[in-house]
Amino acid sequence: MRVLVLSYKPCESRNKKEEDLFHDQFMEESVLFVLEVLKKRHEVSCLEADPALKEKLKEERPDLVFNLVNGTALPGGISYVPDALDELGIPY
């Protein structure tokens, strides 16, 4: 099964607060853990979610998406990724 892990990278900021740095590290570790576990049984790739996500998904054509994106920085907010996946008929 081709599994695509969707992640996000917060906007770069020179004035990151300590809790932002912790959140970045936590998300990075979470993505790496999920990739490691899924690779034991599946063909896995990772993709950064951005406003061009729908086009990227059409190119990747995954069988399943593991969504680790909170979506707040994307157009449409938190529903952006699920809406794109639903529209393209990709299970997640």
Residues with Cβ within 8 Å of 74's Cβ and at least 6 positions away in sequence, in order, are 8, 49, 50, 51, 53, 80, 81
- pLDDT over 70 at 17, yes or no: no
Please name the residue ranges forming H helices in the chain: 18-38, 53-60, 80-88
Quick one: pLDDT band at residue 15, thresholds 50, 70, 90?
Answer: very low
Average pLDDT, the chain: 81
Q: What percent of the chain has pLDDT over 70?
A: 77
Q: Give the global pTM.
A: 0.76
Looking at residue 60, its pLDDT comes to: 93
Query: pLDDT tens digits for 30-71?
Result: 888 898 999 999 999 998 888 899 999 999 999 999 998 876
